[in-house]
C-alpha cells in the first residue's frame, strides 16, 4: 500500500485546497505526488508560516482577486455569516421562539399547580374523612353517655320507689 491518499477520480470532480482554491482532482494528485516525498524526514520540525489564511479571513479589496486563495463563494458565505439578519421574517421567528419559550414555562407552571391542586384536594378529602370519623366517635361517646344517664335515671327512679315503699308506714 502506498502512503498517498486514495481518491476517486471522475470527470469534472473538483477539490478545494486553501493554497490553490478549486482545482481538478487529477491535477492536484499529480502536484501532490511531485511535491510530497514518500517518507518525510522525521527529524525536521514542520513550521506553520505566519501568513497562512484562516477560514474566517476575508481578503482585502486591495488583494489580487485572481489569487488562488481568493474564493468569491467562500468570501460571500463568510460575509453573510458575519452580518446578522434583520429582516422581518427573522424578527418574527425570534418572537415565535420567545413565545414558545414562555408557553413552555407556563405549561410547566400549570403542571406544577395542577399537581399542587391535586395534592390539596387529596389533603382536603383526607381531612373530611378524619373529621367525619371523629364526629362518629363523638356521637358514639355521646350515645354511651346518654345510655348511661338513662340507666342512672332508671336506677335512681327504681331506688326512689323502693325507698319510698320502705318508708311508708
Q: How far from 106 is each of 94, 95, 118, 120, CA to CA, in Å? A: 18, 16, 18, 20
Report the candidate in 89, 30, 78, 24 with the shortest Cα–Cα distance to residue 54: 78
Secondary structure percentages of the chain, helix, strand, coil, to 5: 60, 5, 35
Task: Read off the pLDDT of residues 83-120 as tens digits, 9 standing for 90 and up.
Answer: 766 677 888 888 899 999 999 999 999 999 999 999 99
CA distance 141 to 168: 40
Q: Which of 45-49, 71-75, 94-98, 132-136 has the highest mean pLDDT?
A: 132-136
Task: Read off the pLDDT of residues 21-39 as tens digits, 9 standing for 90 and up.
Answer: 777 666 655 665 565 555 5
Amino acid at each position: 500500500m502506498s502512503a498517498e491518499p486514495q481518491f476517486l477520480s471522475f470527470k469534472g470532480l473538483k477539490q478545494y485546497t486553501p493554497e490553490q482554491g478549486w482545482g481538478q482532482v487529477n491535477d492536484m494528485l499529480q502536484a501532490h505526488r511531485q511535491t510530497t516525498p514518500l517518507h518525510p524526514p522525521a527529524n525536521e520540525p514542520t513550521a506553520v508560516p505566519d501568513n497562512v489564511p484562516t477560514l474566517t479571513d476575508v481578503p482585502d479589496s486591495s488583494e489580487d482577486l485572481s489569487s488562488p486563495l481568493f474564493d468569491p463563494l467562500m468570501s460571500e458565505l463568510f460575509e453573510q455569516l458575519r452580518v446578522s439578519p434583520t429582516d422581518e421574517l427573522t424578527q418574527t421567528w425570534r418572537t415565535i421562539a420567545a413565545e414558545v419559550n414562555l408557553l413552555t414555562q407556563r405549561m410547566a407552571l400549570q403542571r406544577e399547580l395542577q399537581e399542587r391542586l391535586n395534592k390539596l384536594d387529596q389533603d382536603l378529602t383526607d381531612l373530611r374523612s378524619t373529621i367525619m370519623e371523629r364526629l362518629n366517635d363523638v356521637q358514639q361517646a355521646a350515645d354511651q353517655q346518654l345510655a348511661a344517664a338513662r340507666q342512672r335515671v332508671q336506677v335512681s327512679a327504681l331506688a326512689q320507689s323502693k325507698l319510698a315503699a320502705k318508708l311508708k308506714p
